Structures are given as C-alpha cells and as structure tokens.
Amino acid sequence: THWGALKSIVMVESFRAVKGKAASLEYRYYISSKVLSAEQALSATREHWGIESMHWIMDVSMNEDACQIYKNNGAENLAYLRHISLNMLQKEPIKLSIVGKRKRCLMNPEFLEKVLIAGLCAPTK
C-alpha cells in the first residue's frame, strides 16, 4: 500500500488575532513516516514553514517554479545563479522589492552595476 510507512498523522490548530481584523482559526494536517511526540511534530511543522517561506521568496521574486529546465545539472545550476542573484539584490540598499530591483536592473545598466558591486563587495560573516 502507499501508506505502509505511515507512523503519524498531525493536526495543527492555529488561532490568529490581528488588531482591526476578524480572528481566524485554521487547521493544517500533516503525515509522517516517523513516530512523533507533540513537541517534535510542532517543531517539524515550524521548520517546514521556515523552508517554505524561503521557497516562496524564490518563486515570487525569481519565478523558480516556472523553470522548465531539468536536463543534466541545468536546474541545479540555475538555482545557484538565482540564489546568488537574490543575495546580490538584497545587498543593494535601495528600498525596493526584489522584483522592483530586478526590473530596474533590466532598464538601467548603472543600477545593475550598483547591484553587482554591492553583491561582490559585501563583507562576509
């Protein structure tokens, strides 16, 4: 069967109250091939959403999910280039979204140069 390794079914109940908005209650369900305590399950779901938020940034700002290159190492190589590009765009201090900075780079070679310099000259920790 497809569910032979299933060891846990997890439900996370999430209550959210934001001033000026209606409170909301949401349920999310997860399955796992590992036996998990409540604490382990909560930790795993939080880690999952931390990773998902990074993927969301890559998809929204770099259209990563739309990439149709799969042959050989092409997808992995492009992912590295997208990460490098995102890091360089984030280092440039102007107050624009990543998408806005990308568009400005396309329209303005001087701004592209600023992004490249900011990314290449940024101090490393």
Total H helices, total E strands in the chain: 4, 2
The residue segments making up the domain with residue 27 are 8-57
What lies within 8 Å, CB to CB, of 65 at 6+ separation is: 59
Taking alpha carbons only, the member of 55, 46, 60 closest to residue 10 is 46
Tell me, what's the pLDDT at 89? 92
Residue 62 inside a domain? The answer is no
Q: Are residues 49 and 87 in the same domain?
A: no
- The model's pTM: 0.55
Q: Are residues 12 and 42 in the same domain?
A: yes
Q: pLDDT tens digits for the chain (125 residues)? A: 678 889 999 998 989 898 999 999 999 898 889 999 999 998 888 887 766 667 777 777 777 777 787 788 888 888 888 888 988 999 999 999 888 999 999 999 999 999 999 988 866 66
Tell me, what's the pLDDT at 42? 87
Tell me, what's the pLDDT at 1? 61
Residue 111 inside a domain? The answer is yes
Number of domains in the chain: 2
Tell me, what's the pLDDT at 103? 93
Q: Rounded to an integer, what distance in angstroms lies between the CA atom of residue 37 and that of residue 34?
A: 10
CA trace torsion 36, 42, 47, 52 (10° rounding): 110
Task: Count CB atoms within 10 A of the CB of residue 105.
Answer: 20
Amino acid letter, 16:
R
Q: Are residues 50 and 90 in the same domain?
A: no
Q: Are residues 90 and 114 in the same domain?
A: yes
Q: Rounded to an integer, what distance in angstroms lies between the CA atom of residue 76 and that of residue 95?
A: 30
